[in-house]
Amino acid sequence: MITEFLSYPFIQRAFLASLMVGVLCPFVGNFVVLRRMSFFSDAISHSAFAGIAVGALLGIDLSMSSLIVAMLVSLLIAFLSEKTTLSHDTVIGIAFSGAIASGMLVIGMLKGYRVDIFTYLFGDILAITSTDLLFLFIISILSVVILLFFSKPLLQITFNRDLAQVEGINVRLFEYLLFFIIAVVVTVSLKIIGIILVTSLLIVPAAAAKNLASSMKHLFSLSCVFGLVSGFIGLIASVYLNTASGPTIVLVSIGIFFLTMLNSRRTH
């Protein structure tokens, strides 16, 4: 049954995409969970929506326009958080509201019904092309390698920003780098999971791993395992149950989270 399931090229692409996103999102999501940045990732996904709307209006590639706008918004949030006396959450809230309002305004200017825009809203892993897959692979490799290479300073900043600064770490540079990577990862995952649910895949497997992990290494490896399992089971279930792939993958990951939470309570 599984062999027959994997015999179709579009299923093969969807399977590979789910595995890559299943590793990439939780891996990056560990930093999101540890730094309590879930609101930031949500703001970035909605700023990508504004980018998609702009791309549709101007007639340019939607993936590229969403990526550009998401990166600009992430850098704007980092800049305003640093240069103003406003709290980080307040700055993100302003960016979040502005992104939603801009996206809705631009959508209102479009004529007719645009199916491609709603693909990004809810995700459609079965519509993944070979080009999308290659782009996702490159981004996955680059993001994981960069985060692994700079994991020590990034974790130092996460746990004690002031001490990291005293020790000579360029806090500003690494925070901008992390914001930039989150923006890129969120954007490339939109076509698979959708704007509404992409933050869930960043947070839920990482939160599930946090219930069980005894070390940082354990946390990162477990979150990726949970992400892979969620992607694999969720994709198969969505095909056989004829349900949307993105929500099914996220619901599987939430199921794993509750199982780890129950196990964590038993062991304490």
Give the pLDDT confidence score for residue 82 in this predicted structure: 79
| Residue 241 pLDDT exceeds 90 | no
Instruction: Average the pLDDT over 161-189 and give the result.
Output: 87
Predicted TM-score (pTM) of the model is 0.86
Least confidently predicted of 75-89, 115-129, 203-217? 115-129
- Look at residues 254, 232, 188 and name the one whose alpha carbon lies nearest to residue 28: 188
The number of angstroms, rounded, from the C-alpha of 128 to the middle of its chain's C-alpha atoms is 17
Instruction: Average the pLDDT over 225-238 and give the result.
Output: 90
Q: Cα separation of 145 and 100, whole Å?
A: 32
Instruction: Average the pLDDT over 7-20 and give the result.
Output: 84
- Look at residues 200, 249, 172, 194 and name the one whose alpha carbon lies nearest to residue 29: 200
Do 210 and 33 form a contact (C-beta atoms < 8 A)?
yes
In percent, how much of the chain has pLDDT > 70? 93
Instruction: Average the pLDDT over 62-88 and give the result.
Output: 84
**Residues 139-159 pLDDT 10s:** 999 999 999 999 999 999 888
**Residues 93-122 pLDDT 10s:** 888 888 888 888 887 777 765 666 667 777
Give the pLDDT confidence score for residue 4 in this predicted structure: 64
The contacts of residue 74 (CB under 8 Å, 6+ apart) are 40, 44, 47, 179, 180, 182, 183
Instruction: Average the pLDDT over 50-54 and give the result.
Output: 85
Q: Cα separation of 58 and 73, whole Å?
A: 19
| Residue 137 pLDDT exceeds 60 | yes
28 vs 263, residue with greater confidence: 28
185 vs 193, residue with greater confidence: 185
Please give the full DSSP string across 68-116, using - where no structure is assigned: HHHHHHHHHHHHHHHHSSS-HHHHHHHHHHHHHHHHHHHHHHS-S--HH
In 3-state terms, what secondary structure has residue 59? coil
Domains identified in the chain and CATH numbers:
2-261 (1.10.3470.10)
The contacts of residue 191 (CB under 8 Å, 6+ apart) are 63, 119, 120, 123, 124, 125, 127, 128, 132
Tokens 């406003």 map to which residue?
86
